[in-house]
Structure formats: C-alpha cells, structure tokens
Amino acid sequence: MPQNNALLTFLLIFFIAFGVDKKGSQSEQVLSFSNAVVKLGPPSSKDASAYIDISNHSDSDCVIDKFSFPYSQRVEFHESIIHLDMMKMRVNKNLVVLAKQEIKLEPLGKHLMLIELDPLIRETHSSKIIFHSENCGTFDVVFKNEH
C-alpha cells in the first residue's frame, strides 16, 4: 500500500521536524524579558544596578544561577531589605522565576548589581548580559545603558 507508506513517512518527518524545532527554540519561549535598563550612575561609581521584568511562560520554575558580562568583575542578584530602619542589600545566590509568573527587578526592590565596572562601559549604549539557568536554557539579554 504505497499511499499508506507515504502518509507514514510524512508523519514521521513532521514529528521529527516538530520535535527538533521545539527543542531549538526552547530558550526563546520559556523566559521573556522587557524594560531592561542599566543605571550607570555618576562616573565615580564602581558599581551599577540593573532592572528588568522577566516572565516565565513554562510550567516549571526557572533558576538563574549565573550571569556573564564582560564589562564588570561579576554580576550579583540583590534584594533590598529594611533592617533597623536602614536600607540594606542582601545578596541572593539564585534568581528564581516561578512557573507562569513574572518577576520585576526595580529600584528599591530586587535588582542586579554589576560589581567593579570596566570604565569602558561608559562609552557603550547597551549591555548584553548572559543569563545562565539550571533548567531553562541560556539567554542573551540586552539592557539599555542609562548614563
């Protein structure tokens, strides 16, 4: 039955293509990013804060445990807390974006800190920070630099 074979072959190719496509585009679909801004502050400041909204479209929590950025020594995930009437910053190990939720990194709240900036960053208009997650892939995130 040649017609049946053709149909089976078609279905097989369809499923292979669909499976590969789904895997290949996973990183773009799981998390999306908006309002990404780096506040560079005065030229004397050695650190900068960065803000962003992150949405998790998947059914599982995403744990971002590492950032790569060539213009600072390191990138940390901070949380602002009030302790004895003083605003303090706490370093968190992981940035967790819960399943089907959005997290907002904003002034006086959670934020990223770019520690020990390369002065050359002041000649750039955007910052590409790579977010590495344990379980959701790797993401190139472009921030607008505000001077």
Residues of the shown chain interacting with Cu ion in the complex, contacts defined by CB under 5 A: 78, 89, 113
Query: Which lies closer to Cu ion via its Cβ, residue 48 or residue 62?
Result: 48
In the complex, minimum distance from the CB of residue 49 to Cu ion, in angstroms, rounded to a whole number = 6
In the complex, minimum distance from the CB of residue 19 to Cu ion, in angstroms, rounded to a whole number = 42
Cα 147 from chain centroid? 22
Per-residue CA distances from 43 to 46, 117, 122, 123, 146 (Å): 8, 10, 8, 11, 12
d(CA 89, CA 91): 7
Query: Which lies closer to Cu ion via its Cβ, residue 58 or residue 65?
Result: 65
Residue nearest to Cu ion (CB): 78
In the complex, minimum distance from the CB of residue 110 to Cu ion, in angstroms, rounded to a whole number = 9
Query: Which lies closer to Cu ion via its Cβ, residue 89 or residue 142?
Result: 89
Residue 96 has, within 13 A of its CA and on its CB side, a CA count of: 6
